[in-house]
Amino acid sequence: DAGKSGYDHYMLKEINEQPHALRECLRGRPRELEASIAIDELEGLKQPERVHFVSCGTSYHASRYGAKLFREQGIQTTTFLASEYDVDSIPIDEETLVVGVTQSGETADTLRALRAANSVGAETLAVTNVVGCSAARETDYVMYIRAGPEIGVAATKTFASQQVALAMLSRDLSGRCSSAFIEALRALPDQVQSILDTSHAAAVADEYVDADAYFFIGRGFDAPVALEGALKMKEITYKHAEGFPAGELKHGPLALVTERTPVFAMISGNSNIERMVGNVREVESRGAPVVAVTDVPGRIENHADHVLEIPETHGLFAPILANIQLQLVSYWVANRLGRSIDKPRNLAKSVTVE
């Protein structure tokens, strides 16, 4: 228990370590004067023709977010679940950079995908947290996210650090960055701290602890965080949760929405506010409670039962901040239900079987 520094769970400790983790991830990488990003360990890595992300679980959600940032820079990028990566059926060659995003660097599916990429001559890069892990040893390049050890099985601080690492990587590879981007990156640790200091996620959790299921929706850059919010909720509360891009609501999930299924809606400056408000109205009219996670509360509060506010940021970074609120909601629901938060049943921190 000594390692928990007074917190009841490692997970809560690690959620609270995020400002520090992000400062470490950023250390020495953004260059204010040149308005550029330099990742020293990637010296020599050029902008590739195309990028494939291979990853699992939470790392897959970080990859989905990262891929959007890469594409926004004009880099042709595809995400694959590592267990579904099949080099025989997709275009892959020496001009392809295959990026394995893996906290532990030991996930069997991700290692298999990276080995397959190596075998066909692609360049490989591991984005990982663990120095000297298998993924780092077996790839051409490695970028460390520097989040520090994560004990809780459910990934928290490593997800935020992966998001920030991939944001920097997108600019390092494209060679195009802006002062505004760097300024916003630098502001993130303090903004995360302000969420941790003021969040009323615990009260929201109290209100919905008996819900039948939880839904998470977002558009664009927010969509991967909707997936991650649902995964976190499932992992530690054992309750049904689903996340999806908000536009898909009407193609099926809406049939499950009732007054007993709270819907968490990410609505950030970058997420097409009008259409998100439309989606929120769809669930509101079915009686579902709405929790808006937003940096534009004025645009949504009339349609939300609760607002979990995040500070204003560069639109691209709102999903990093929104996720902190979602982590806290899941933690407090699991806590009220008395779950085994740090070691959920049937799950392992690192899965070394395919």
Interface residues toward ligand G6P, by CB under 6 A: 56-59, 102-104, 107, 110, 153-155, 347-351
Q: Which residue has the CB atom at the shortest distance from ligand G6P? A: 57
Report in angstroms how near the CB of residue 139 gets to ligand G6P at its nearest. 13
Task: Count the alpha carbons within 13 Å of 322 in the hemisphere toward its beta carbon.
Answer: 36
CB atoms within 10 A of CB 199: 20
The residue among 156 and 325 lying less far from ligand G6P, judged by its C-beta, is 156
Phi, then psi, of 90 in degrees rounded to 5: -135, 150
The residue among 184 and 227 lying less far from ligand G6P, judged by its C-beta, is 227
Helices 223-237, 318-336: crossing angle, 10 deg rounding: 20
Establish whether 234 is a catalytic residue.
Answer: no
CA gap 134, 126 in Å, rounded: 10
The residue among 85 and 181 lying less far from ligand G6P, judged by its C-beta, is 85
The residue among 238 and 273 lying less far from ligand G6P, judged by its C-beta, is 238
Give the residue among 307, 335, 316, 318 at the shortest CA–CA distance from 198: 307
- The answer to whether 101 and 81 are in contact (CB under 8 A) is no
In sequence order, what are the beta bridge partners of 53?
79, 99
Report in angstroms how near the CB of residue 81 gets to ligand G6P at its nearest. 11
Report in angstroms how near the CB of residue 109 gets to ligand G6P at its nearest. 8
- The DSSP annotation for 128-151 comes to ESSTT-HHHHHSSEEEE-------
In sequence order, what are the beta bridge partners of 290?
263
CB atoms within 10 A of CB 282: 16
- The DSSP annotation for 200-239 comes to -HHHHHHHHTT-SEEEEEE-GGGHHHHHHHHHHHHHHH--
From 4, 234, 239, 349, active-site residue:
349
CA angle 112–118–123, rounded 5-degree value: 125
Structure tokens at 256: 């499950």
Tally of residues, the chain: 354
Report in angstroms how near the CB of residue 182 gets to ligand G6P at its nearest. 27
Report in angstroms how near the CB of residue 303 gets to ligand G6P at its nearest. 33
Report in angstroms how near the CB of residue 254 gets to ligand G6P at its nearest. 28
The residue among 138 and 301 lying less far from ligand G6P, judged by its C-beta, is 138
CA gap 198, 195 in Å, rounded: 5
The residue among 256 and 347 lying less far from ligand G6P, judged by its C-beta, is 347
- String of b and e for 301-333 (b: at least 16 CB within 10 Å)? eebbbbbbbbbbbbbbbbbbbbbbbbbbbbbbb
Report in angstroms how near the CB of residue 130 gets to ligand G6P at its nearest. 8
The residue among 84 and 94 lying less far from ligand G6P, judged by its C-beta, is 84
- The answer to whether 297 and 327 are in contact (CB under 8 A) is no
List, by residue number, the catalytic residues: 349
